[in-house]
Amino acid sequence: MPDWTQFGQLLDFCAVYYTTQLVRCAAFSFVLIGLVMLLRKKFFSKQVFLKGMLWALFLVIPFLGKLKLFYENKVVLRATWQITAGIMSWLWVDRIYMTGILASAICIFGKRLRLRKVAARMEKVVFENIHIYVTDMNITPFTAGLLKPKIVLPKMMVDSYGRDELKIIIQHEQTHIRLGHLWCGFAWDILRCLLWINPFLIIFQKYFRADMEDICDRVCIQNSKKTAYEYALVLLKSLKLLHFKQENVPPVVTYAGEKEFADMKRRVEQIAGFRPYREKRCMAMTAAAFLLVVAALMAVHMHSYGCSNESRDIMVGKYDGKNEIVSCDTKALSRMISYDDQYVYVDRAAFEDFLEENEAKGDICIAFGGFYKLPGLGGAAEICFYESDSKDAIVQIPYESIKGNWYFKVLKML
């Protein structure tokens, strides 16, 4: 029979462990989203590609929770320790946070699944060797799915548009797919779930999507060989054609086009300022941005605690029902206690003098080695009991290692 108590303990530990990290990540996300919005407005307002690339910085955010900065920098430690201590102490806070992640995931990704099912039931047609899905609903064109994206167009647009106009609309959706914007949206939704306590990730999501649309428009205009004027006319025609909205339209969680006049007005104004760009230069900027993110991730990894960290600490305690700690001075204890994979070696004379000085009587336990997840948060130590009746100068105590225990194996991998 499995020990269900250990399962419960493992779930509780996961709640504390991940909430501790994610709350820190959320704190960073508040700062970063303010920085991104400032840079977009003040420095990159005319730089469409650079403005869009700023959002890639958020890829680093979920990995900041284990930074050594939180434990080794006195200023940061003083500023954040009360929050950390609260999260570690109040399990109900961690459970609420985990529930929030689950609720957000059900809401956000539930919409994606419903949309995918709706698209799968639509009429499938072929336009110039491209499979598209046609719906009677009065909606703007969009693409659903990640591994097998489905381009969806309203029937009234298919019937009303000429071949060249349809090619522009379909090319726009294909460009989103080719540029990886659907995956960018997916990553953003994951971030929204993990850091749900930051409402600005929802509030400013429209700017993230607007920047992706602007990049897509630029690429489409250049690749279509159409003028910016011709491209804008197609967008304006779709706005007029789909002006009257229909009820019971499924929520579109990937790029479904603009739904309001103000958004389309902004987009057309951006298109009006289109100038041909150098593709090689854009590719170089994209490569540089990618390398910057990779370098940032590597730097974070180098300055963060691992999934499990070897502990060399030694602690002596009294096992008398109260489990009182006698000493956790590793430096002093290591002079009289050492260990290998099978035995603990204790200098009997020195250790018994130590016990007498500390008035420690009864069952004495020695905790040593093992691993920890984060300083002060979780982990495991090997343990043995001192054999006080031994007459050997060096007391050799065998112990059963925790390495074979499934609970500690799972804990170490988390």
pLDDT for 141: 82
Distance CA 51, CA 289 (A): 12
- Per-residue pLDDT, 381: 87
Please give the average per-residue pLDDT across 71-97, as a whole number: 80
pLDDT for res 249: 45
The answer to whether 149 touches 177, Cβ cutoff 8 Å, is: yes
**Three-state secondary structure call for residue 328:** coil
Contact (Cβ atoms closer than 8 angstroms) between residue 24 and residue 97: no
Query: pLDDT tens across 247-284, in order?
Result: 444 444 333 344 456 677 777 777 877 788 888 888 89
Look at residues 371, 310, 307, 403 and name the one whose alpha carbon lies nearest to residue 18: 307
Q: Which pLDDT value is given to residue 261?
A: 61
**Residue % of the chain over a pLDDT of 70:** 92
Which of 156, 67, 116, 363 minimizes the C-alpha distance to 253?
Answer: 116
In the predicted structure, residue 165 carries a pLDDT above the cut 70 = yes
Lowest-pLDDT range, 149-153, 299-303, 376-380?
A: 376-380
- With CA atoms as reference, report the closest residue to 121 among 137, 133, 138: 133
CB 168 within 8 A of CB 72: no
Q: According to the model, what pLDDT value does residue 103 have?
A: 95
> Is residue 305 pLDDT above 50, yes or no?
yes
Can you tell me the distance from the alpha carbon of 77 to that of 23, in angstroms, rounded to the nearest whole number? 15
How far apart (Å, rounded) are the C-alpha atoms in residues 348 and 396? 10
- 10 Å Cβ neighbour count for 33? 21
The answer to whether 367 and 314 have CB atoms below 8 angstroms apart is yes
Structure tokens at 221: 């205009």
Q: What residues are paired with 204 via a beta bridge? A: none
Planar angle of CA 132, 135, 139, nearest 5 degrees? 105
pLDDT of 72 reads 83
- Mean pLDDT (whole number) for 29-43: 91
Residue 412: predicted pLDDT: 81
CA torsion sign, 384 to 386 to 389 to 394? positive
Report for 57-71, 114-128, 145-159, 243-257: range of highest mean pLDDT: 57-71
| pLDDT above 80: residue 144 | yes
With 0-12 / 13-18 / 19 or more C-beta atoms within 10 angstroms meaning exposed / middle / buried, residue 63 is middle
- pLDDT one-digit tens code per residue, 105-143: 999 988 888 888 888 888 888 888 888 888 887 777 888
Quick one: pLDDT at residue 186?
Answer: 93
pLDDT band of residue 98 (cuts 50, 70, 90) is very high
Inform me whether the pLDDT recorded for 24 exceeds 50. Answer: yes
Span 18-27, average pLDDT: 91
What's the residue count for the chain? 414
> Taking residues 189-196, what's their average pLDDT?
94
Ranked by mean pLDDT, the top range of 46-60, 155-169, 250-264, 372-386 is 46-60
Average of pLDDT values for 224-245? 74
pLDDT at 252: 40
Residue that the structure tokens 């920085």 belong to: 35
Separation between Cα atoms, residue 342 and residue 409, nearest integer Å: 18
Instruction: Supply 406's token pair.
Output: 């499934």
The predicted model scores a pTM of 0.84
C-alpha radius of gyration, the chain, whole number? 30
> How would residue 2 be classed by pLDDT, with cut points 50, 70 and 90?
low
The predicted pLDDT at position 31 comes to: 93
CB atoms within 10 A of CB 398: 9
Banded model confidence at residue 147, pLDDT cuts 50, 70, 90:
confident
The pLDDT of residue 36 is 93
Structural domain spans, the chain: 4-302, 309-413
| Of 260 and 319, the one with more pLDDT | 319
Residue 318 has phi, psi (to 5 degrees) of -100, 125
Contact at 8 Å (CB) between 57 and 297? no
Task: Measure the CA–CA gap between 120 and 144, rounded to whole angstroms.
Answer: 10
pLDDT at 246 over 50: no
Average pLDDT over residues 50-68: 92
In whole angstroms, what is the distance from residue 304 CA to residue 83 CA?
19
For residue 349, which of 290, 395, 399, 386 has the smallest C-alpha distance? 395
**Angle of CA points 133, 110, 62, to nearest 5°:** 110
Q: Region 45-63: what's the mean pLDDT?
A: 90
How high is the pLDDT of residue 326? 83
224 vs 343, residue with greater confidence = 343
- Is the pLDDT at 100 greater than 80, yes or no? yes
> What is the 8-class DSSP label of residue 248?
S
Bridge-based pairing state of the strands 150-154 and 130-135: parallel
